[in-house]
Structure 1
Amino acid sequence: MNDRVSVAIDAGVAEVRLTRGDKMNALDPAMIDALAGTIDKLRRTPGLRAVVLSGEGRAFCAGLDMASMAAIGEGGGLGGASLTDRTHGPANIFQQVAWGWRTLEVPVIAAVHGAAFGGGFQIMSGADIRIAHPDTRMAIMEMKWGLVPDMAGVALWRTLVRDDVLRELTYTNREFSGAEAERFGFVTRTSAAPYDEALALARDIAGRNPHAVRASKRLFNLAAESDAATILMAESEEQVRIVRSPNQVEAVTANFEKRAPRFVD
């Protein structure tokens, strides 16, 4: 897409890669803009089924490029904006580069290696599923600079880890490994080859009824902030829309005929 993010789409799977490998994919204003633009572009891409998010070179993302801080205005935003300006629905642009993966209609799988610090850790957390090398270095880094995590991490982590674990790691900015992150709940599972596993999983998901997959993601997102009655009704409403739809019928037919299904948008 540009010199910060590349996108390649094959059979409904988008491979999105941070391409600032010489800087361990550290986040500068150009990277922030590129990631937000990529999410917007994917949202408008027909036939999209799943996304694999990764970083080139030695790391997934080393967090904020501190040398780029001079480009950030007094209000903490970019281009004269303030952090409190809601530029992307409920989020500002910094939050969007993490939160946007959670609100994208299709599942996002992060393949994480090397390092995921600060903003990079929050971007990873926005994925539906996170597969990391066990030796990946991770940290909620903001306290090192006297800051709070503010790239949607707090909204994302509330469904992943225990409150006391999150507080300790935030207050101390202690570094931990991918293997520890799996035990804490930040990482879905570890792998010696996270990218290969993420891509295989994305291709598997791409072969499922896309309307049922998207509806399931909507339900899981709703569950994070709704009461039981709201969730129960949403389950029923989503199912009513799917039952006997062309893709649902095709899923049943393909299973009986022991063939690959042929789904449509």
Structure 2
Amino acid sequence: MPDYQAFRVELADKIAHVIIDRPEKANAMNADFWREIIEIFRWVDDTDEVRAVVLSGAGKHFSSGIDLMLLAQAANVLGKDIGRNAEILRRKILELQASFNAVDLCRKPVLAAIHGYCLGGGIDLIAACDMRYSTRDAQFSIKEIDIGMAADVGTLQRLPRLIGDGMMRELAYTGRHFDGEEARSMGLVNRTFDDPQALLDGVFAIARDIAAKSPLAVRGTKEMVRYMRDHRVDDGLEYIATWNAAMLQSADLRVAMAAHMNKQKPEFAD
């Protein structure tokens, strides 16, 4: 596994632990972060041994969001022509969006374990994950409004499906902080834990449960859920019929049914 500048990646028991590893900078998202996250999730997608991903932050915080030095560098390349400036900025924004699209489109379930700060770009990142869990005292904020911009890498597009339109607007317009318990009450996180260690223990237990299931069944389930965000019910039913016409012929189905009948734990191939 290659060395990364902004991350640490570990693989054990079929679970990839992807750790944002800039604790001295509150895990702010620098240029290395945006490039490496695409490489990491491509590796996750291509590595059959990986059944689930836990995403967390090293040190005291999950992430304080985009590194402001990166924004300053983007401003330095602008010239006098508005049209050309707009083209430069648009390409940069699409490039950043691709980093979190890589998380969203990953074939494997991604579980975010959040403690400390989860601000700005941190919200964009966790919105692209399958599930979110946090400590009770974690601090969240859609912070972009406080630096004079609209969030542009996924929060405003993904969050309404998670917490509802009205609450998303309140948080996006005000930028106010809210803690893990409020995040749980609005449905942003599934469950809260007392401290970072209990959080990781709890999230890894869920990841191990997922990793023990048929990887083809998990893959199909994630794909159908993702597909239904942008399609009608009848489109989704047609898609799952076509998908399962192939997948129901997998050995996993026979393995699962035999294990269930014999009250044993099934073992699935990667």
Counterpart selection for 1:171 from 160, 168, 173:
173
Q: Which residue of 2 aligns with 1:78?
A: none
Q: Which amino acid aligns with 2:181?
A: A
Deviation of residue 104 (structure 1)? 0.2
Deviation of residue 83 (structure 1)? 4.6
Q: Which has the higher helix share?
A: 2
**Matched ranges for 1:34-113 at <5 A:** 34-72=36-74, 73-74=77-78, 82-85=88-91, 92-113=94-115
1:109 match: secondary structure: strand
My pick for the range that moved more, 93-102 or 11-20, is 93-102
Deviation of residue 220 (structure 1)? 0.4
Deviation of residue 210 (structure 1)? 0.6
Q: Does 1:258 align with 2:250?
A: no
Q: Is the 8 A contact 1:50 1:107 kept in 2?
A: yes
Q: Aligned equivalents of 2:99 and 2:184: distance in 1?
A: 23
Deviation of residue 84 (structure 1)? 3.1
Q: Does 1:232 align with 2:237?
A: yes
Structure 1 residues 16 and 185: alpha-carbon distance in aligned structure 2, compared to 1, 3 A threshold:
same
Q: Does 1:133 align with 2:135?
A: yes
Q: Deviations over 1:79-107 (max 9, x none)?
A: xx845339xxxx83312332322210010
2:136 match: secondary structure: coil
Q: Which amino acid aligns with 1:85?
A: R
Q: Aligned equivalents of 1:97 and 1:147: distance in 2?
A: 19
Q: Does 1:202 align with 2:207?
A: yes
2:90 match: secondary structure: coil
Q: Aligned equivalents of 1:83 and 1:51: distance in 2?
A: 31
Deviation of residue 19 (structure 1)? 0.6
Superposition misfits of 4+ residues, deviation over 4 angstroms: none
Q: Deviations over 1:158-203 (max 9, x none)?
A: 3101211111111111111111111122112212222111111111
Q: Aligned equivalents of 1:199 and 1:48: distance in 2?
A: 13
Q: Aligned equivalents of 2:259 and 2:223: distance in 1?
A: 25
Deviation of residue 125 (structure 1)? 1.5
Q: Aligned equivalents of 2:201 and 2:171: distance in 1?
A: 29
Q: Aligned equivalents of 2:23 and 2:98: distance in 1?
A: 22
Q: Which residue of 1 aligns with 2:217?
A: 212
Deviation of residue 254 (structure 1)? 1.6
Q: Is the 8 A contact 1:98 1:124 kept in 2?
A: no
Q: Which amino acid aligns with 2:90?
A: T
Q: Is the 8 A contact 1:134 1:190 kept in 2?
A: yes
Count of aligned pairs between the two proteins:
256
Q: Does 1:186 align with 2:191?
A: no
Which has the greater radius of gyration?
A: 2
Q: Among the aligned pairs, what percent are the same residue?
A: 30
My pick for the range that moved more, 60-69 or 137-146, is 60-69
Q: Name stretches of at least 5 consecutive residues in structure 2 with no aligned partner.
A: 80-86
1:53 match: secondary structure: strand
Q: Aligned equivalents of 1:82 and 1:7: distance in 2?
A: 32
Q: Which residue of 2 aligns with 1:118?
A: 120
Structure 1 residues 228 and 42: alpha-carbon distance in aligned structure 2, compared to 1, 3 A threshold:
same
User: What is the TM-score when the length of structure 2 is the normalising length?
Assistant: 0.89
Q: Which amino acid aligns with 2:78?
A: E
User: What is the TM-score when the length of structure 1 is the normalising length?
Assistant: 0.91
Q: Aligned equivalents of 1:93 and 1:46: distance in 2?
A: 27
Q: Aligned equivalents of 2:186 and 2:78: distance in 1?
A: 36
